[in-house]
Structure 1
């Protein structure tokens, strides 16, 4: 698969390698913790970086559930691939623990030129051996950091990888952190060859995951892509979600039940509890820690209304990954249909709810785009963009532009998102937005009104500013 995008990520890693080569840091060695959602392309990114670097490197891939003895033996063999004169000294070494295995890496690391060592799926090493973290800290401080080595630690369990660098953990303060996000909408447009509006649809469906996007043929429209994907039980669009869920949340776990509830459209604590419970409502004492874990893993986000008044009671939950959101809403229950040759029924279900699903799913992407576009000349002080709602979602306002969050000092604008084909933001939408102004704490009768519209704005809707698909995509391309 051709490598696309990731220019910023590659540049970040390249700068880290240059600091090793230049000796600019306090010690010759540098460590980078690379994390991100499963199947987002972390390993592929690092492999591409290593191949482009022109620097000796070795990659060790951990295996979940494998014997620690076998893991250490393979790690020592991987260390030998760095090819220094000391590499032969560790040939056949049987490392009794991770201290010894990591010291073997130090022996094999060249002293006279930069090199790269990659440890992939570090959370599985932590899971196998609780002494791994302590050994990593000890050998890094005493040996590895004194070598011209770029040590890259990769892991998909974001909570574990963040804990690796936490203040109360052995490796604290020794590594810089890098998060690999899905491909942005500008990269999606490049890969698919679609116009801006269609590229945003493609980003919502695929989540920006490279393996799924690779199956989207250049120029193919959304309906044809979905028709092709739902005709094949082994299509990446169908299987990536199940592989991701199985990797983190086996079937039957309560976390999966909570994800299904949120994925089906439930947003409040009470409605999630009602749907996720197998026999009645899931107790708060059970649901609270589950939601916290899902938030720690960056799979679920909890949004609060943005205004000049604090409001922690009206929290709304959502799946952060739009592909997983799409998979939970449509594909998980559609897989049996596809497997028996009735992908047409699965596609019909998607099309029946596509417009309403997209209308909600596109909101976080639009807010993220505006955060890249603002502040600008029209809104020089706007640094936060969120939404606002009350307990009954009446009104519910899509866009709130402010100076800060979670509690703003000043509201600069309120706005509405209209994301429909052939239906521009019109006077009716403008009037509905205007009626919402005084319900929001911190607004006044003259608070400016703005819009984001897929199909433009009619002349009789006098919004102060509006943004369309092209501007939203360019927000990523120009950053």
Structure 2
């Protein structure tokens, strides 16, 4: 299978290939997002050595694997090294025999598993880069790891050792909706965009999860099979996922669970009060955000300390709401819940979270791609002056003296603004203008899965209406 999407990442990898200096790339991203496939596929002609760490492997086992891989590449008999220093000396000797001036890639995958405690792997790698690779402009060293906290602490933020050696860093995110659509089509999976959104709200854009989609099956069937079947890929993925990415993953899970209870998110101060595991809250939040499990959102008209934290990982949200404590329900259980009021209510919230990841597509559809904007949320708690509360799903604060108040609706048919809902919308806009005292244009905007029903209320109130189809646009 050829690479799908990943345009920004491919551009950066091509830059490394055209560089006239030695390059050192640190690549990280959540488990099963396609890091290894990206490097192998894009650098398949330049790959001259590859080693993958063995989870919980002993030093002797890791060195044995190194010895085997080097033997396959060099076709030369060598003694198995007894240390990483000796291993990299052997690799250096092999690299010196390579002819030609073209780029050569050394790929060390699952680095945190290779660099176990007391292995002395990192000092040996640092020395190898300084004395061999950095001196030869042909070489690109790629280190890769799923354990975000480890890669950040030991490589990216570490002020000594490898920190000053890395020449490029890359975080690989899950697919966008456009990339997911291309991926499914490449596997002969033909689904409506409504069903594709349903999959995205449960699996996100993780390629390995999307492989669960089979031709001829609906989104509900795919979700039921992968999440509720006893041997389903995603039924037990939650704990494995966090444990593979983070040390002391109980801290990270506690934060995600707390945020999942609050669809509109929590400020740092409120999250601190609920955090009971103790210690390193700032670090834990940063690691979760770097790995894509939570996101931060400014609140319109508020200070930075009022920044909102929300769960951004679709699978985590779906697991905690629908899979956990329902695992014994078995195959077919989700098909019974699909289209229930509980599902419809939850899917609206899930679509809102997904929409926040596709702001460039929304701006393009609204004709404001070139306008500087800040996307944020807005919530008004009732007070004596304005006793009616109000909240905005998504707000675009624009540099052209305008604001889009965006309502997001997920439904199987066109969404209809009723008389009672029209009254709510009028009040929401009024409360927003009065509380914020904004002097900007305020445009009520709808994003719906199947469009708006044309009636008097829509004509009166809605300034812009777009469908979720725009989220599938590819932004290069």
TM-score normalised per structure 1:
0.81
1:39 is aligned to 2:32:
yes
Alignment of 1:415-430 (within 5 A): 415-424=406-415, 426=417, 428-429=421-422, 430=425
Distance across 2 between alignment mates of 1:422 and 1:360: 18
Larger mean Cα displacement after TM superposition, 327-336 or 375-384: 375-384
Larger mean Cα displacement after TM superposition, 319-328 or 210-219: 210-219
Preserved CA contact (<8 Å) 1:206 1:213: yes
Distance across 1 between alignment mates of 2:94 and 2:29: 29
Q: CA deviation at 1:381?
A: 2.0
TM-score normalised per structure 2:
0.81
1:195 is aligned to 2:183:
no
1:18 is aligned to 2:17:
yes
Distance across 2 between alignment mates of 1:151 and 1:236: 33
Counterpart position of 2:141: 151
In the TM superposition, what whole-angstrom CA distance separates every residue of 1:234-280 from its partner, at most 9, and x where no partner exists?
A: 1223243343134346999354344333335464368867877xxxx
Preserved CA contact (<8 Å) 1:205 1:322: yes
Question: Which of the pair has the greater relative contact order for Cα pairs under 8 Å at 6+ separation?
Answer: 2
Preserved CA contact (<8 Å) 2:227 2:233: no
Cα 1:9–1:68 change in 2 (3 A) is farther
Alignment of 1:134-283 (within 5 A): 134-147=123-136, 148-163=138-153, 164-166=155-157, 168-171=159-162, 172-190=164-182, 191=184, 192-229=189-226, 232-248=229-245, 253-265=250-262, 267-268=265-266, 282=276
Larger mean Cα displacement after TM superposition, 67-76 or 465-474: 67-76
In the TM superposition, what whole-angstrom CA distance separates every residue of 1:114-137 from its partner, at most 9, and x where no partner exists?
A: 322211111223343474333323
Preserved CA contact (<8 Å) 1:59 1:78: yes
Larger mean Cα displacement after TM superposition, 285-294 or 348-357: 285-294
Preserved CA contact (<8 Å) 1:451 1:465: yes
Preserved CA contact (<8 Å) 1:40 1:209: yes
Alignment of 1:367-446 (within 5 A): 367-374=356-363, 377-378=367-368, 380-391=370-381, 394-403=389-398, 412-424=403-415, 426=417, 428-429=421-422, 430-439=425-434, 441=436, 443-444=438-439, 446=441
Distance across 1 between alignment mates of 2:455 and 2:349: 26
Counterpart position of 1:468: 467
Cα 1:79–1:252 change in 2 (3 A) is closer
1:61 is aligned to 2:48:
no
Cα 1:115–1:436 change in 2 (3 A) is same
Preserved CA contact (<8 Å) 2:66 2:87: yes
Q: CA deviation at 1:440?
A: 5.4
Cα 1:132–1:444 change in 2 (3 A) is same
Cα 1:284–1:124 change in 2 (3 A) is closer
1:359 is aligned to 2:384:
no
Cα 1:232–1:354 change in 2 (3 A) is same
RMSD: 3.4
Q: CA deviation at 1:432?
A: 4.6
In the TM superposition, what whole-angstrom CA distance separates every residue of 1:48-88 from its partner, at most 9, and x where no partner exists?
A: 234xx3234332111233222432343244234443xxx73
Q: CA deviation at 1:140?
A: 1.0
Unpaired segments ≥5 residues, structure 1: 277-281
Larger mean Cα displacement after TM superposition, 111-120 or 349-358: 349-358
Distance across 1 between alignment mates of 2:353 and 2:165: 32
Distance across 1 between alignment mates of 2:334 and 2:178: 29
Distance across 1 between alignment mates of 2:352 and 2:128: 46
Structure 2 residue aligned with 1:49, among 42, 45, 58? 42
Cα 1:15–1:293 change in 2 (3 A) is closer
Unpaired segments ≥5 residues, structure 2: 383-387
Cα 1:18–1:328 change in 2 (3 A) is same
Cα 1:370–1:300 change in 2 (3 A) is closer
1:448 is aligned to 2:435:
no
Preserved CA contact (<8 Å) 2:266 2:308: yes
Distance across 1 between alignment mates of 2:283 and 2:309: 14
Cα 1:415–1:115 change in 2 (3 A) is same
Preserved CA contact (<8 Å) 1:115 1:149: yes
Larger mean Cα displacement after TM superposition, 144-153 or 159-168: 159-168
Cα 1:335–1:350 change in 2 (3 A) is farther
Cα 1:418–1:199 change in 2 (3 A) is same
Preserved CA contact (<8 Å) 1:383 1:402: yes
Larger mean Cα displacement after TM superposition, 152-161 or 443-452: 443-452
Distance across 2 between alignment mates of 1:442 and 1:132: 59
Preserved CA contact (<8 Å) 2:401 2:441: no
